[in-house]
Chain A
């Protein structure tokens, strides 16, 4: 147990890195994923195809392979970023595919009459989607989006395999230093992740209750 108190500074630093990866990638993935979902329901067939291909490609690629591609492929495109920035790119690109699916499932839960009403007063596709459908879809989409963010919180650990010293890398380093305290270290850091997951799911429950409208 003592090891957790002795090394608390390192553990807190690790989780700070994890939280940065989570928040930045989460925000980018949400924006990109929502745009992809809009493309998938747009009237232009080319955009449908791009949205669908994106989802099929990135949902079916292991995150590790995507990390290899982004970390070592981007420099070949003469794009130079730090490892942290490239980790954010890999996580965002991957998570956006799941956000897209969650938002699209939300779009499908909005009653068809809402979109028909919007169209009947002359709204265009962009207006119908942006002003009528998406605001309602986001309410229905809170629980599945929370699952996506929880998955993202855990996926940030993959960056540990590529030289980012976030929480899981911290665990690995501390384990190598002090194999005797392995169990305490594992439980201590696991509880950190449990806490992050608990915060996300509590937040989603609160939002869900707040946004619940009587229809």
Chain B
């Protein structure tokens, strides 16, 4: 972004003595960290967490195949949830901005409700009450749509409100109707500006797909749960699952940052202060 950032003004440019001191502090920090890690690894080793048996499942082709199909299901859950969440979010954002209170009020209540209720609660409710009718896939996907859709509704609303007033006035002055103003002028600009936030929401959906393990379903965390119950290798399984998620979500976060920079370069930053998406995997790096 250029200009003075806070982190560069918090301390003076270190001189030779300060640099030596920083190197010393850095070295001590690294040593403490390494000692802690070494202790942890030693204890894990003592408790046989590194023996081949515990990790064997993750090099066994059949199990790797299961994990792979589990990952595909996880991705499928995330993609379907995000696609519908976008539609839901767009409808409710526009609804909340409606001039008619009969439309805006119910939209407000629905959005606030689903932002406040835990996804897992909805999953329990659907799985106990409706699992046989809608199937396990929708038992996890519907709560994700309702939650992410409500968060995205707020994101879109902020995006629409952030489009400069002059745009609306220009549109009105050439005789556009309200819905034309919305669809031709406001929404396209809001969506472009909100693209990074939408990608961040994918990270949230991917992480929350893990909640399906309570049903359980066929996504990767449920597969992992079966593996750790069968081979008693909870530690190894959790590490493998964590690495898979970190790789995917970190890449998505980088993508969001890249898109954000591109959008900013094109001068389309309708939003200076993007609303904070709780639980999103993206911040300015």
Contact = CB atoms under 8 A, between A and B. Distances in A.
Interface of A: 40-41, 43-47, 50, 52, 55-57, 59-66, 68-69, 71-73, 76-78, 98, 101-102, 104-105, 107-108, 110, 112, 115-116, 119, 124-125, 128-129, 133, 143-144, 147-148, 150-151, 154-158, 160-161, 167-168, 171-172, 175-176, 179, 182, 186, 189-190, 193-194, 196-198
Contacts of B120: 157-158, 160-161, 168
A175 B125 contact: yes
Chain B binding surface, main DSSP class: helix
Interface in B253-285: 253, 276, 278-279, 281, 283-285
A76 B10 contact: no
A76 B43 contact: yes
Interface in B173-219: 203, 206-211, 213-214
B246 interface: yes
A95 B238 CA distance: 18
B283 A133 contact: no
Given A76-B235, A186-B125, A68 B118 contact: no
A177 B119 CA distance: 21
B128 A77 contact: no
A88 B11 CA distance: 35
Nearest to A46: B26
B281 A60 contact: yes
Contact of A119 (B5, B9, B124): B9
Contacts of A154: 116-119
A50 B29 contact: yes
Residue from the set A65, A125, A150 with the largest chain B CB neighbour count within 10 Å: A65
B170 interface: no
Interface in B72-129: 112-113, 115-121, 124-125, 128-129
Given A62-B210, A64-B221, A193-B117, A69 B6 contact: no
23 contacts: A43-B14, A44-B25, A44-B26, A47-B25, A56-B246, A60-B245, A60-B246, A62-B209, A64-B211, A71-B234, A72-B228, A101-B283, A105-B283, A119-B10, A119-B12, A128-B10, A161-B211, A161-B213, A168-B120, A175-B125, A179-B129, A190-B116, A194-B116
Contacts of A172: 124, 128
Contacts of B253: 56, 60
A194 B245 contact: no
Interface residues of B, number: 68
A182 B209 CA distance: 23
Interface of B: 4-7, 9-12, 14, 18, 22, 25-27, 29-30, 33, 40, 43-44, 46-47, 49, 112-113, 115-121, 124-125, 128-129, 203, 206-211, 213-214, 221, 224-225, 228, 234-235, 237-239, 241-242, 245-246, 249-250, 253, 276, 278-279, 281, 283-285
Residue from the set B30, B235, B276 with the largest chain A CB neighbour count within 10 Å: B276
Chain A binding surface, main DSSP class: helix
A55 B284 CA distance: 12
Contact of B124 (A64, A168, A198): A168
Nearest to A172: B124
Contacts of B44: 76-77
A186 B213 CA distance: 20
Contact of B245 (A47, A65, A112): A65
Contact of B238 (A56, A63, A72, A171): A72
